[in-house]
A and B are shown apart, each in its own frame.
Chain A
């Protein structure tokens, strides 16, 4: 009960509130050595210190009062704030496709939390519609909150739950599926679903937002609008990530779930397809295809759900002069699969070779990917590469390190046999390894160059 009345307060601040009988959401008149303050006592973030009260003053601003300056305090009223989100019944119409929106948490569905002073996942998908009414012009949305976890806490259990839920929803006749997801590990989940949900008859669109939906300039609404269009009307029946193309409110990209990566900590345009082009762009008006080859939408419901994952997989980010113990310890701890993220074309130092041999002997599957993010592992170019291959390290072409980790967990979830694992890893499900890298698959231009600057000025970034 105390928790409720004095939300977030502890230590001296809590005892001061108790001493003067002032509650959170109480209107307080406070005399201090710095003068008089009036306002509503707000909950305090638990991570902030225990020496201040938070007050919302008449003008709507918040201020903090140091409790050691307080000489007297009185509660003169009480009014608890209640969140009201305009929640409406979704207007269903027969001429629109039916889309299922799964909520997982993350910033596409969020609101402010006093306890932490942070943005937490809390909007129910239904409330989400109240905030983005345009959705009703695009499709009929049904919503279901599967779980409410931060993006960084998503993992194999959630991948499996999602895969099964998708399978069920397809059986139920959905025309498309949207998954609201935090952005940090959006591409891990996209990769996992790409492997676990195969032969899709309808689009499965993962969507998030880089700027929380509590702010007016959030990308959440537009991303959701784009995702709804892609899910309801798009012809691409694959696991796709739908996020901003440029940082401007212009168009979204549909990225193949196996080739997409978050490339900037805070930009709206953070998701990029690596080593290829996105599959399509999407606006409020429609979808424009970029890639000609994709899995088209079908009427049947013959989806293949493969909800497997073995958590004994890990990644080893190589650095110069790494000691063999690093690898040995992983093997000793019982990991069955290791993705090495190597330098250049896919290398580690000679010192690790004995450890690689020991891993092979123990039946651990070891694969090579790249720190360079772009390009192919080429272990035939230098002798060191050939040496490593001889010690059982398998190059994974241009598979992205995170995708490789997900796929290895999925593969080991199906079999313990290293040869079978190798076979699964090297056989692309949906372009996680591509046969060729098109010339426009790698575009990281540098600012300051005249023609680049001209381009930036002419086209919105």
Chain B
């Protein structure tokens, strides 16, 4: 018997494919593996109503807060072009029972597909058009609502109503232009409560809310470019001021491939900061799968002939029983030992950090055969659960050779045929490299199989809706309302000298228009306002809990007040600290609370000489800078609002110089 260590194999295959961590990766690494990626950015629109019914949008409820439930099953249907979609068939195999929780406040008979759609929400359509124009897309002449099949149950009809507003546009990043393939308006899906075995539970509160999906071409060649594009689209969406913010209101699907790999979509990435690691690991996972393919192609002349061999293990096969197997048998599961001929060293081949090829199989057993994990053990576990000796007996039971690998899987008897099929199918896919999949992401940057990647075969016209013409007049009417392009905003901020570390905050909170209006209306320097918002206010907002009535318009009004009173901008921060908790408080009262007194510069500066003398007498320090700081400290409160603190410092320095 060969001395084989799965752990060592994992390490050596990782090295062999040249995996480097995200931190250590260079552009050269991404060129080497042929990293290519694109984005589908989902953004909820801030409308009163849902897209195809008149239920209120944005009212969420807890998992247990529901009035009724409905149960449905999904079956694949023919698409317009006459073929069944791959995903559709897989979902049908899973035979899920889908339960919807309905709350009367935010769902009607439309959500559960007992009423046909009402006309599309015009508010949503207008907002989406604005964003389409900002993406410089070619706007369609007529909006056609189509049905995009989703058999996972996330939409009770089994399809999502969706429509294209524009195709082929672009956005401008720092160093490149990224092409936008299309923008669609669609209804949001249900939120999943649980998915265990054959039962999946959803709630319908989010279902039907208007959403746009912005799809880029695969123009991003490093994870960092990918993140920049995602950030840009987020800023662009938010620049309208008409999209929802907060958890779950913006979600990314990231599609990644490496040279020779396949399009894999990582679904529902909630934070842009996760994008680099996820895409990095996915590209290397594909690279690893291609390596596995190469090994297999050397080992097997005719992959089509490859078959698993399997035997059932019963309670009587005492020599073969181990803890996990006994447990499965105790739970009325059927247990099968599988031999994978010629698969020695493949199961423990590196795929992702901490993951090996065997995980690809286990993930599919969970998703396709609906067998909860743990659903299998295998002969190349990194941390073996059963002894080498036991595996020898399993190997003998199966008549296996040293070149083979073994799996023991278990599940409810009804799911076993699908389970065996699933294992064989995944291995057959390994012979050709990287399967087209959608994958679910985890915070550690790894992913797992979610579904077979759906194709365009899942689209067909929505026979319940008529096409909506988009006249030139309608587009012309929207144009004057458009905010400026994000790329131009960035350039303008650079011109004003606003430090770059504030841009993310300013753009994601859409504070740029506030800077413009404050500086235009009250004559403040845009740089000063940018710094104030991007540093001081960001800090205040991050550390204090804002009252529900607080909004950015209050900042505008406050600066108007500061301007009209002839106060200095330094007064803004202490006043905002009060306003953020008491947004209705009168400005004059806030000044009283802050002990503000209107005094002239001369009066503020009068004690400088005295203070300097005192400082020198007490010799608090020899450093003249310290003297300035100390005196600043003494005069600061008095000066705030009356004299810019930078000005105060300059004056103190002058006086000290004069004294010396």
Contact = CB atoms under 8 A, between A and B. Distances in A.
A128 B149 CA distance: 20
Contacts of B537: none
Interface size class of B (residues with CB under 8 A): 35 or more
A112 B70 contact: no
B566 interface: no
Contacts of A292: none
A85 interface: yes
B547 to A, nearest CB: 35
B86 to A, nearest CB: 13
B77 A214 contact: yes
Contacts of A172: none
B67 A457 contact: yes
B469 A34 contact: no
Contacts of A49: 469
Contacts of A264: 114
Interface string B66-77: 111111111111
A61 B70 contact: no
Interface stretch (A3-11, A93-101, A245-253, A389-397): A245-253
Contact of B168 (A35, A221, A461): A35
A57 interface: yes
Interface string B139-179: 11111101111010000111100111001100000000000
B456 A59 contact: yes
B78 interface: yes
Contact of A84 (B71, B83, B112): B83
A216 B460 contact: no
Contacts of A250: 71
A60 interface: yes
B469 A456 contact: no
Given A460-B69, A460-B70, A64 B75 contact: no
Interface in A194-231: 210-218, 221-222
A100 to B, nearest CB: 24
Interface in B78-100: 78, 80-84, 88
A48 interface: yes
- Chain A, interface SS category: loop
A249 B138 contact: no
Contact of B144 (A51, A63, A81): A63
Contacts of A58: 456
B67 A453 contact: yes
A460 B71 contact: yes
Given A81-B81, A214-B77, A248-B72, A59 B463 contact: no
Given A48-B466, A112-B463, A57 B77 contact: no
Contact of B467 (A52, A217, A222): A52
A81 B163 CA distance: 21
B138 A64 contact: no
A76 interface: no
Interface in A38-71: 48-49, 51-52, 54, 56-66, 69
Contact of A61 (B78, B114, B184): B184
A319 interface: no
Given A59-B456, A117-B461, A216-B157, A221 B68 contact: no
B463 A62 contact: no
A460 B68 CA distance: 7
Given A214-B78, A457-B66, A34 B157 contact: no
Given A34-B141, A64-B467, A112-B461, A216 B67 contact: no
A37 interface: yes
A112 B460 contact: yes
B634 interface: no
B181 interface: yes
B457 interface: yes
B459 interface: yes
A63 B185 CA distance: 12
Nearest to B145: A62
B269 to A, nearest CB: 20
Nearest to B137: A35
A51 B469 contact: yes
B203 to A, nearest CB: 14
Interface in B422-473: 455-461, 463, 466-467, 469
Contacts of B551: none
Contact of A217 (B74, B148, B162, B182): B74
B75 A218 contact: yes
Contact of B455 (A51, A60, A246): A60
Given A63-B164, A266-B114, A216 B459 contact: no
B109 interface: yes
Contacts of A210: 114
A64 B466 CA distance: 11
B384 interface: no
B138 to A, nearest CB: 3
A30 B140 CA distance: 12
A43 to B, nearest CB: 11
A247 B109 CA distance: 10
Contact of A34 (B77, B139, B162): B139
A40 to B, nearest CB: 9
A267 interface: yes
A429 interface: no
A268 interface: yes
7 contacts: A57-B164, A63-B141, A64-B467, A66-B142, A215-B157, A216-B77, A248-B71
Given A60-B456, A63-B164, A65-B142, 15 more contacts: A34-B140, A35-B138, A37-B140, A52-B142, A59-B164, A66-B142, A81-B81, A119-B463, A213-B77, A214-B78, A215-B77, A216-B77, A248-B72, A249-B73, A264-B114
Closest 10 CB pairs of A and B: A64-B142, A216-B158, A60-B456, A35-B138, A66-B141, A60-B459, A62-B144, A248-B71, A217-B158, A63-B140
Interface of B: 66-78, 80-84, 88, 104, 109, 112-116, 137-144, 146-149, 151, 156-159, 162-164, 167-168, 181-182, 184, 215, 455-461, 463, 466-467, 469
